[in-house]
Structure 1
Amino acid sequence: MSSTGKPEAAPAVDAVPIEDASLTAFYGSMTTTERRTFWACAAGWALDGMDFMIYPLVIGTIISLWKVDPGTAGLAATVTLLASALGGWIAGFVADRIGRVLTLQITILWFSFFSLVCAFVQNFEQLLVARALLGLGFGGEWAAGAVLMGETIRAQYRGRAVGSVQSGWAVGWGMAVLAQAVLFSYLPPETAWRWMFVIGAFPALLVFYLRRYVEEPKVAAETRARARAAGEQAKLWEIFSGPLLRTTILASLAAAGCQGGYYAITTWLPRYLTTERGLSIVSSTGYLSALIVGSFVGYLVGAWLADRLGRRPLFLIFSLGAIAVILVYTQVPLSNAVLWVLGFPLGFFASGYFSGMGAFLTELYPTRLRGSGQGFCYNFGRGLGALFPALVGYLASSVGLASAIAIFAAGAYGVFFLAAFALPETRGKVLHVDG
C-alpha cells in the first residue's frame, strides 16, 4: 500500500517507466501502424459487442414466440460462450502459426456469417446450433485481436491503448440497444428480432480495412521466422507445463470470474427490467442506456488505471465495487428512478476491469506462446462464465431472477478478486522476440 492508502503494485521485471500516465497521452505519440491497429481493433470490439448483445436483448421475444422456458433460453447464451471458449483457444494457437492479422480476418467473417444465419432459423433448436457456430468465431476474434493490439502498442502505452479499445464494446452494446429501440418500435416483434441478427452481420465489412491497412506485429513475425528456421513450433499443451502451469491456472480463474459475473448481469438484466420491474422493451432502453454509459466510462477509467496503478490494483478495486453495486441493485427495495441512477455505477464496475485484461494476459506469456496462452485463459474463462446465464435462468424459478443474478455475479467477482491477488503485476513489461 502507498502512503495514500491506495494499492501500489511492484513493477514488472524488464519494464519501462510510464512517465505520462494521463489517459490521452498515448494517442498523440502513436506511430501510423499503431494508430491503424488501434482503430481497426476498436471497430472490431464495437461490432463484436453489438453482435453478442443482440441475443440478450431479444431473449424475452424468443421466450414469448417459441414458448421457451427461461433456463432453456439462457442455454443459447451459454452455448455461444462455450463455443467461444473453444474458438478462442484454437484461434490463439492458429495466430501463433499463421499470424495475428490473418486469423482476425477469418474469425470476423465466420461470426458475421453465422449471425446472418440466426436471422433465418425456424425454431429454437436451429437457433441454438447457429449461436454455437457463431461462438467459435466470436471467441477467436477476441483472442487474435487482443494479441495483435498487445504486441503492436509499445509497453508504456499498452494498458491505456488496449483498454481504450475495450471501450468499443460499450459502443457496440449501445448500437444494439439503439437498433432494438428502432426496430421494435416500427416492426412487430416476430419480425424485429430477425432484423437484429441481420445487423449483426455488419462486422464482415471490417475485413476490407484489415487487409489494406493493418500490419502483422514485428515481434510476432520475427519469432515465427526464427521458430521455422530452427524447426521448432509451439505445442498446444506447452502452456500447461513448467512454471507456466501456475500462470495458466490462475489467469484462467481470473478470466472465469470476471466474465462469469459480467454475463450473469448483462444476459438477464434486460429481462429483469421488463418482468420484475414492469418496464416495456422500449421504456427499458433508458435504464440500459445508463448501464452502457457507465460501462463506457468504466472502460476508459480502467484503461487509465491499468497504467497509473497497475493491472492487479485495477482488478481488485473493480471486483469489490461490482459486488457491492450488484447487491444493492438487486437486493435493496428501490424505486425505478433510483435504479436508473444505479445503472451508471453498475456498468462502471461490472465492465471497467476488462480494460486491463487484454494487456495483462499479453504480458504473462512469451511471444511464441502468447496466442495460445492468452486465447486459452480468456476463453476458458468464457467457457466457465458461459454456465452462468443458464444457471441464473434455472435458479430464478426458485429464488427469483434478482436473487439469482446477485448470487452468481457476486460469487464470480469473488473468484476474480482472489485469482488476481495471486498473480504478478506486469505493468510496463517489454515484449521480446523469442529464440
Structure 2
Amino acid sequence: MSSLSTSGTMGLAAPATSSLGSCTTVSTIAGRLERLPMTSYQRGIFAIIATAWFFDSMDLGALTFVLGPIRQSFGLSTSQTGLLSSMSFLGMFIGAASAGVLADRFGRTRIFQVSMIFWGLGSILCGFASSVETLAAARVLLGFGMGMEFPVAQSMVSEIIPANQRGRYIALLEGFWPIGFIASGILSFAVLSFADWRWVFILQGIPAIFVLIVRRYVPESPRWLASHGEAARADAVMSEIEAKVSQRLNGAPLPAPVPQSIDQQQSHGLSTLFAPGYARRTVMLWCLWFFALLGFYGLTTWLGALLQAKGFAITKSVFYTILISLAGVPGFLTAAWSIEALGRKITLIGALLGAAIACYFYGAAADQTQLIVAGLCMQFCAFGMWSALYAYTPELYPTQIRATGTGFASAIGRVGSLIGPSLIGFILPTAGQSGVFALGAGAFVTAALVVLVLGEETKGRTLESISQ
C-alpha cells in the first residue's frame, strides 16, 4: 500500500506489485489453513458459530408454531396472515443482501456480532407488539438480523475448515436449523399451555447475549485478512490458530504447509458475480435459492395453521409440527455424509426431488397416519436440501466476494420466502391444501432442474482451486 503514495515512474508499477504480494499472502495463509488437522480447537469455534445459528433458527421457526394464535389474537384473514408471515423474510432479504457486502468489506466476525444484536432485539419487540402493524415491523427487524447472520456464518465456517471436511461441517451447521426449529416448537408447546404467544418471542430473544462469547473466542478469518492486504494481522491470527491446534496435539509438529494456487486477477465488487467464470454460478444459485425457499417457507410457515385447519387444536398442531420436524435431524445427518461421499449436486437434486414427491403425498393425505408419514418424509428431504444448499453456495465464490455472493444468493432466496407464504395465503381459499402442496412440489422440482443443468461439482476441492 505504501508504494501507492510514491511519486514519479514508480506509480504505474505499484498496483501489480501490491496485487502479487496480496496473492502470495493469500496463497500462504490458505496453505497453512488447509494442512491443519481437525482438533477440538476448530470444532470449538464451529460449536460457537453453530450455537448462535441454533438460537437464530429458534426465532425463525417460532412463527410456524404461533401463527395460529397470532391470527386469532388479531382476527386476521388468511391473506393478512400470509402477509404477516412474510415480513420476517422481507427483513431477511435486506439483511442478507447488505451483510454479504459488509462482511467482505469490514470482516466476518464484526458483522456476525451485529446480526445477533438485531435478531435478539427484534424478537423481544415482537413479544411487546401492541398491534399487528408493530408486530410486522418487529418481524422485519428480526428478519434483518437473521438475514445478516446466515451468509456470514457460512463464510466463516467455510474459510476455517479444511477442504476434505468443509462440506460436512457446513452441512452440520445447517443441521442446527432443524434442531432449533424443534426446540422452538417444544418451547412454544410449553409456553402456550400456560401463557400467550408473546412470551415465546420474549424468551427467544434473550440468548442474543451469546454475542459476548462470539466476541471473545471466534477469531477473524485469516483468509479474509490476507485477501484485504492485512498480512501482519493474517499472520498473527494464523500463528495463534496454529499454536492452539498444536497444543491440542500435545505439541506435535504440524504438517508442512503447501501454498495454494491463487488467481492473480483479484476479484472485488458486485460486478464480479456476473464476470466470466462466475455468471453461470450466480444464475444457478439465484434460481436454486429462489425456488427452494419459495417451496420450503411457503409450506413450513403455514404448517401449523394447515394442521389446525384439518381439525387439530392449537397445542396439538404444535405437537404434530414438532413430530414431523424430528425427521429433519436424520435428514441433515444423511446430507452431511452424502455431500462428501457422493457430491454436492447429487445430494441437492435427490433431496429436492424427494421433498417434491413427499409434498404431493402430504397434500393428498386422507388420514392422520398418511399425513404424519408424508410429513416426516417431506421434512427429512427438506432439511437435507438445506444442508447441501448451505455447503454448496459459499464454495462457488473467491474469498474477496464470498460473503457478497452468498449474501445475494440468500437475498434472492428471501424473495422466494417473501412470496411463498403470501401466495399460499391467496391460494388456500380457492385451491385448498392440495393446491398449496402442488405449488411446493413444483418449486422443488424447478430448483432440482436448475442444479442438474447449471451446477458444477465442488467435492474435495479447496476454495482456491474452485475459484480458478
The two structures share one fold, judged by TM-score above 0.5: yes
Q: Structure 2 vs 1, CA of residues 430 and 233 (structure 1 numbering), >3 Å: closer, same or farther? A: closer
Kindly name which structure, 1 or 2, has the bigger radius of gyration based on alpha carbons. 2
One of 274, 282, 293 as aligned partner of 1:248 = 282
One of 285, 292, 301 as aligned partner of 1:267 = 301
SS in 2 for 1:263: helix
SS in 2 for 1:282: helix
Which residue in 1 is equivalent to 2:30?
none
Which residue in 2 is equivalent to 1:196?
200
SS in 2 for 1:185: coil
Matched, 1:327 2:360: yes
In structure 1, what residue type is equivalent to 2:356?
A: I
Output aligned runs, 1:102-117, within 5 Å.
102-117=110-125
TM value normalised by structure 1 = 0.87
Instruction: Tell me, yes or no, if the aligned pair for 1:331 and 1:403 is still in contact at 8 Å.
Output: yes
Instruction: Tell me, yes or no, if the aligned pair for 2:305 and 2:317 is still in contact at 8 Å.
Output: no
Shift of 1:206: 1.8
CA offsets, 1:162-191, max 9 Å, x none?
A: 11111111111111111111111112xxxx
Matched, 1:90 2:90: no
Shift of 1:356: 1.5
Which residue in 2 is equivalent to 1:19?
none
Output aligned runs, 1:105-184, within 5 Å.
105-184=113-192
Instruction: Tell me, yes or no, if the aligned pair for 1:86 and 1:379 is still in contact at 8 Å.
Output: yes
Shift of 1:226: 5.9
One of 44, 60, 64 as aligned partner of 2:68 = 60
Q: Distance in 1 between matches of 2:206 and 2:40?
A: 26
Matched, 1:239 2:273: yes
Matched, 1:31 2:63: no
CA offsets, 1:373-430, max 9 Å, x none?
A: 0111122112223200000011111111x12421221121022101111211111221
Which residue in 1 is equivalent to 2:324?
291
Which residue in 2 is equivalent to 1:211?
215
SS in 2 for 1:205: helix
Q: Structure 2 vs 1, CA of residues 338 and 403 (structure 1 numbering), >3 Å: closer, same or farther? A: closer
Q: Distance in 2 between matches of 1:193 and 1:308?
A: 43
Matched, 1:304 2:337: yes
Q: Distance in 1 between matches of 2:84 and 2:318?
A: 23
Q: Distance in 2 between matches of 1:396 and 1:285?
A: 20
Q: Structure 2 vs 1, CA of residues 227 and 419 (structure 1 numbering), >3 Å: closer, same or farther? A: farther
Q: Distance in 2 between matches of 1:179 and 1:226?
A: 44
Q: Distance in 2 between matches of 1:338 and 1:398?
A: 23
SS in 2 for 1:165: helix
One of 374, 399, 404 as aligned partner of 1:367 = 399
Q: Structure 2 vs 1, CA of residues 375 and 338 (structure 1 numbering), >3 Å: closer, same or farther? A: same
Instruction: Tell me, yes or no, if the aligned pair for 2:267 and 2:398 is still in contact at 8 Å.
Output: no
Q: Structure 2 vs 1, CA of residues 289 and 134 (structure 1 numbering), >3 Å: closer, same or farther? A: closer
Q: Distance in 2 between matches of 1:40 and 1:329?
A: 36
SS in 2 for 1:352: helix
Instruction: Tell me, yes or no, if the aligned pair for 2:185 and 2:319 is still in contact at 8 Å.
Output: no
SS in 1 for 2:313: coil
SS in 1 for 2:268: coil
CA offsets, 1:43-64, max 9 Å, x none?
A: 1221111101111211111211
One of 406, 418, 438 as aligned partner of 1:407 = 438
Extract structure 1 runs of 4+ deviating beyond 4 A. Answer: 226-230
Aligned residue pairs total 400
Instruction: Tell me, yes or no, if the aligned pair for 1:159 and 1:304 is still in contact at 8 Å.
Output: no
SS in 1 for 2:363: helix
Q: Which has the higher contact order (CA 8 A, sep 6+)?
A: 1
SS in 2 for 1:45: helix
SS in 2 for 1:243: coil
Q: Distance in 1 between matches of 2:145 and 2:223?
A: 25
Shift of 1:228: 12
Q: Distance in 1 between matches of 2:228 and 2:319?
A: 49
Which residue in 2 is equivalent to 1:416?
447
In structure 2, what residue type is equivalent to 1:236?
A: L
Q: 5+ residue gaps in structure 1?
A: 1-27
Instruction: Tell me, yes or no, if the aligned pair for 1:36 and 1:214 is still in contact at 8 Å.
Output: no
Q: Structure 2 vs 1, CA of residues 286 and 195 (structure 1 numbering), >3 Å: closer, same or farther? A: closer
Shift of 1:78: 1.6
Q: Distance in 2 between matches of 1:309 and 1:257?
A: 23
Moved more, 29-38 or 134-143: 29-38
Which residue in 2 is equivalent to 1:40?
48
TM value normalised by structure 2 = 0.81
Shift of 1:37: 2.2
Q: Distance in 1 between matches of 2:391 and 2:160?
A: 11
Q: Distance in 2 between matches of 1:95 and 1:228?
A: 20
CA offsets, 1:190-235, max 9 Å, x none?
A: xx211011022133122111111111222111111269999x8932
Q: Distance in 2 between matches of 1:318 and 1:148?
A: 25
CA offsets, 1:333-375, max 9 Å, x none?
A: 2x21332233321210121111122221111001101110011
Q: 5+ residue gaps in structure 2?
A: 1-35, 234-263
One of 46, 57, 64 as aligned partner of 1:49 = 57
Q: Distance in 1 between matches of 2:293 and 2:211?
A: 27
Which residue in 2 is equivalent to 1:378?
410
The share of aligned pairs that are identical, in percent, is 29
Q: Distance in 2 between matches of 1:274 and 1:193?
A: 16
Instruction: Tell me, yes or no, if the aligned pair for 1:311 and 1:356 is still in contact at 8 Å.
Output: yes
Matched, 1:224 2:228: yes
CA offsets, 1:15-42, max 9 Å, x none?
A: xxxxxxxxxxxxx952344212210122
Shift of 1:87: 0.9
SS in 1 for 2:314: coil
Q: Structure 2 vs 1, CA of residues 227 and 214 (structure 1 numbering), >3 Å: closer, same or farther? A: closer
Q: Distance in 2 between matches of 1:131 and 1:286?
A: 24
CA offsets, 1:290-310, max 9 Å, x none?
A: 222101110111111011110
Alignment RMSD (CA, Å): 2.2
